[in-house]
Amino acid sequence: MEELEAPGRLTHILISLDTSKLSEAVLPIAAQLAKHLDLDVILAMSVPTASDLYVGPAILIHRIDILKKLELEAAEYLKETSEKLSRDQGLRVTWKVLGGDPGTAIVDYAKDNLQNNMIATSTHSGSGIGRWLIGSVTDKVVRSSGDPVLVVRPSSA
């Protein structure tokens, strides 16, 4: 009989954020887990890439500046949030700005760069036709990731 190898001890918690208060609802719980399980925290946020906006050369040229601005704003937000978590909670926190579809980017980053991790995210209370039209980052992460996923539903959702 073949023995199954037990998964390794968790070492990281990858927290998906998008600057909204709803996405930040995961932070207190994820921080508690990180503290109690001695996990390294990685904050991640995805911004659109040029290929996400490409509809023709003339439009793309004007959009590059917007994409650069979004990336800089995301970096500043993640830096400030990581410094606050590190200072207030005593956690080891790093951050990463990703590009492309948020659900796919989070899952791909975890698969390609981390082992023994958990992904933490908040729902944005999408349901019915709204979720069908815009998709759900949380749904993609839960369905596509081979990692444990912590999903927090904000009280205002």
What's the whole-model pTM score?
0.82
- List the structure tokens of 96: 């990463």
pLDDT of residue 49: 76
Residue 103 lies in a domain: yes
List, for residues 98-128, the tens digit of each pLDDT value.
998 888 999 999 999 888 889 999 887 555 5
**Measuring CA to CA, how many Å separate 58 from each of 25, 47, 49, 52, 69?**
39, 21, 16, 15, 19
Structural domain including 47 reads 12-152
**CA 157 to centroid of chain Cα atoms:** 18
Chain mean pLDDT for the chain: 83
Spatial separation of the C-alpha atoms in residues 109 and 157, rounded to whole Å:
27
Residue 34 lies in a domain: yes
Total tally of structural domains belonging to the chain: 1
Q: How many CB atoms lie within 10 A of CB 110?
A: 24
Residue 7 lies in a domain: no
3-state secondary structure of 96: strand
Residue 4 lies in a domain: no
Give the CATH number of the domain where residue 137 resides.
3.40.50.620
Residue 157 lies in a domain: no
Residue 1 lies in a domain: no
